[in-house]
């Protein structure tokens, strides 16, 4: 899993296709994501695949795992699975009914855009970030106005050096979006950070069409966090890409992002 090269790099790291999640209780994890309208697509003795699409599907690959630990403070690593909602209150109510633990809801302003966000900690401390905003990036909600939830909108991963990490992803085929820098007490509140306010730097990476699943690099400016240990423990294990002609394997970026490459055929 330490391979920092990739076969056919121009085709690999566009928009992600799936997220690998380790769990100690697969039934509980399935029920939790069913609250966000995901459904089981396939299952065997040690894993299950849940899907959410209606046009551009995204997948969760659930694998049995030993207990892990919640990422807190300024820890580096996977910090959230973002899902759009058209009703924050309804989504939170559903998640709580399946054992979810909501953090504080905050309104985040980024340039001209404003959004409400809340982290729901699910089984094995899986962080699902619900986003309610009148200004959304493309998702299944565009053409399915009666739906409550989108597919996975993005995966957020904290790294020590946003720009160096983003450059590596660009060399491997990802299209880099606009660099963002923002901070406010509401950001610190929403992310349950130890300081009253914090500056963040982010950038979104995807294919040229900016399809979901997008991959967001996050940097806590001026703060050093514990490196992501990785491995096969419960929690978000890897962000995944489906590539025609590639061999199925795991690799790791220089910034510690675990990447699950699977063959499209």
Residue 1 maps to a domain: no
Query: What rounded mean pLDDT belongs to the chain?
Result: 89
Residue 4 maps to a domain: no
pLDDT at 11: 54
pLDDT at 181: 84
Number of domains in the chain: 1
- Which residues, other chains included, contact 146 with Cβ-Cβ below 8 Å and sequence gap of 6+? none
Question: 175-234: per-residue pLDDT in tens?
Answer: 999 898 887 788 888 888 888 888 999 999 999 999 999 999 999 999 989 999 888 999
Residue 107 maps to a domain: yes
Reported as half-sphere exposure (CB side, CA atoms, 13 A), residue 140 has a value of 21
Residue 152 maps to a domain: yes
Is the pTM of the predicted complex or chain greater than 0.75? yes
Question: 79-113: per-residue pLDDT in tens?
Answer: 999 999 999 999 999 999 999 999 999 887 776 67
Q: Which domain holds residue 137?
A: 9-263
pLDDT at 3: 52
Residue 2 maps to a domain: no
Evaluate if residue 255 carries a pLDDT over 90: yes
Question: 112-132: per-residue pLDDT in tens?
Answer: 678 899 999 999 999 999 999
C-alpha span between 91 and 97 (Å, rounded): 10
Residue 3 maps to a domain: no
3-class secondary-structure state, position 162: helix
Average of per-residue pLDDT across 38-61:
88
Q: What is the CATH number of the domain that holds 88?
A: 3.10.180.10
Residue 36 maps to a domain: yes
Reported as half-sphere exposure (CB side, CA atoms, 13 A), residue 48 has a value of 18
pLDDT at 25: 96
């Amino acid at each position: 899993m330490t391979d920092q090269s990739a076969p056919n790099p121009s085709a690999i790291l566009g928009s992600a296709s799936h997220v690998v999640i380790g769990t100690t209780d697969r039934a509980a994890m399935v029920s939790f994501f069913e609250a966000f309208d995901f459904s089981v697509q396939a299952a065997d003795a040690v894993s299950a695949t849940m899907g959410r699409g209606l046009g551009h599907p995204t997948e969760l690959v659930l694998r049995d795992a030993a207990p892990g630990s919640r990422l807190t403070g300024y820890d580096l690593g996977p910090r959230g699975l973002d899902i759009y909602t058209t009703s924050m209150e309804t989504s939170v109510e559903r998640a709580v009914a399946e054992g979810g633990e909501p953090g504080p809801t905050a309104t985040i302003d980024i340039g001209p855009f404003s959004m409400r966000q809340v982290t729901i900690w699910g089984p094995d401390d899986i962080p699902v970030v619900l986003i309610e905003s009148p200004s959304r990036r493309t998702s299944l909600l565009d053409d399915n106005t009666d739906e409550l939830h989108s597919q996975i909108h993005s995966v957020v991963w904290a790294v020590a050096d946003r720009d160096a990490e983003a450059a590596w992803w660009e060399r491997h085929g990802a299209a880099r979006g606009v660099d963002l820098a923002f901070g406010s007490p509401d950001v610190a509140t929403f992310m349950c950070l130890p300081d009253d306010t914090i500056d963040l730097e982010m950038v979104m990476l995807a294919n040229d069409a900016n399809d979901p699943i997008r991959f967001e690099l996050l940097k806590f400016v001026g703060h050093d966090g514990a490196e992501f240990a990785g491995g096969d423990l419960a929690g978000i294990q890897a962000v995944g890409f489906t590539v025609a002609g590639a061999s199925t394997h795991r690799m790791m970026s220089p910034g510690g992002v675990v990447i699950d490459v699977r063959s499209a055929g």
